Structure 1
Amino acid sequence: MAAQRTLSVRRNAARAPDRGNNARAPVVALLQTRRGSPRAPRRRRASAHPYEPPRPKRTDDPRTATTSAPVLDSIATRWSPRAFDADHSLPEGALRGVFEAARWSASASNTQPWRFIIARRGSESFAKIEAALMGFNQAWAGTATALVVNVAETLDVEGDEQPWAAYDLGQAVASYSLQARSEGLYVHQMGGFDRQAIRDSFELSAGQEPISVAAIGLLGDTDQLPDALRERELAPRSRRPLEEIVLVND
């Protein structure tokens, strides 16, 4: 009986696959291939336009936000200046990435109810937008490189209201503001402007509601501002604490 058991064990061992080094061979070979084979150089995806914007890094600038948790540099260094560089101009395609960021914003049911009027300094459209600004905005916005009217499509193709249009437009503007900051530009949004003047100047259709105007450009010298605005420009930045703005945190 012992001999029979020994024979049986030997036969079973002969039938069993080798689960030792041979079983690991394909895995080892795969790892060796991945680690040992030279990789082909990665090709950089061609840019949609030749303009390559600078990529600012967080600095010790006192305007950089002091945050209670780490955030993106484009968030920490974003603020709304009034002193823009009046000599700065935008090369062809320089704003494409900015508004591509807006294009990919979130919206209710993907309705994408944002529209933009982009006007570069020196153009007829820029003059129309600047003329429609009100109050202190006219004192400084003319030095911006570009002015943008942010328009909400409040009606759909059937003429029904889109109640979240203004909210979604705000998301798009926030997206392009952060993209602009990541490309070395600054954005200052304004609500003080003559909406009817904008409607008339650009022949906006029913349902196209101008919500805000944004100035885009590079930082300029604060000495160019009136005294009252210069004080605002240099005042320390502040925000409410998280504990105040979060109502419930279960």
Structure 2
Amino acid sequence: MTTQEPPSKIRAPEHPADLIFVNRWSPRSFSEHHIPEGVLYTFFEAARWAPSAFNAQPWRFLYALRGQSEFDAFLAPLIAFNQGWARHAAALIYLLSRKDFTPPGETEPQFSRTHSFDSGAAWANFANQATAAGWVAHGMSGFDVEKARTVLKLPEGFAVEIAIAVGRKGDGAHLPPGLLQRERPSGRSPVGDLAARGLFPERFRR
């Protein structure tokens, strides 16, 4: 178990989960620090060890570093709201997933029902490793998927799951006042709203 304290009372766990999970959150403020590619690859290494159906490992990461020629192209598919703050990140990443896989003992590929789910597990590993290393990672669904496919030159058979902004947490100087006020860890629903023994409970409908 980690010895760090939760960042706030709103982040106090109800049960003894490791604080690496409790302390991870998604800031929008970034400092001017650049990220060494070697550091970024430690996050990819953590993602590499995520579980997946048949160990198919459908996730793929494409990245661009701030200051390099690809960065503006990676920024372009984001909605204007996300562009406003993500342009200050040290790196922009797109998480992709391969939609098919070849089961053990088979020769023909088949559709993977869990390609998005498995890639989500890789994202969680990535984000938690970034937190453990003193960096922050913010996942985004707010982007034009077809524009991203074009920019990234994706072939058929791959889905664009999320965009990710990575960097050192900043002081919020680049954020408009409304976003700066929101720049704090959020709470979570009680465990009792999320887990139940037995059959589907009525409270899950809420």
Give the structure-1-normalised TM-score. 0.71
C-alpha contact 2:137 2:167 (8 A) present in aligned 1: yes
| Whole-angstrom CA distance in 1 between matches of 2:9 and 2:136 | 12
Is residue 76 of structure 2 the alignment partner of residue 131 of structure 1? Answer: yes
| Whole-angstrom CA distance in 2 between matches of 1:104 and 1:60 | 26
> When the two structures are aligned, how many residues end up with a matched partner?
193
Question: Structure 1, residues 131-190: CA drift from partner, whole Å, max 9, x if none?
Answer: 110041111001111111000101236453111100000000001111111111111000
Residue 77 of structure 1 corresponds to 23
C-alpha contact 1:135 1:192 (8 A) present in aligned 2: no
| Whole-angstrom CA distance in 2 between matches of 1:200 and 1:167 | 24
RMSD over equivalenced CA pairs, Å: 2.1
Residue 42 of structure 2 corresponds to 97
- CA distance 1:120–1:57, change in 2 (3 Å): farther
- CA distance 1:99–1:81, change in 2 (3 Å): same
The letter of the residue matching 1:78 is R
Structure-to-structure mapping, 1:1-250, within 5 angstroms: 58-59=4-5, 61-62=7-8, 65-85=11-31, 87-156=32-101, 158-234=108-184, 237-248=186-197
Residue 43 of structure 1 corresponds to none
Give the structure-2-normalised TM-score. 0.86
C-alpha contact 2:6 2:19 (8 A) present in aligned 1: no
Q: Which has the higher contact order (CA 8 A, sep 6+)?
A: 2
| C-alpha displacement of 1:249 | 6.1
Q: Which has the higher helix share?
A: 1
Q: Which has the higher strand share?
A: 2
Q: Which has the larger radius of gyration?
A: 1
Unaligned runs of 5+ in 2: 103-107, 200-206
| C-alpha displacement of 1:60 | 6.4
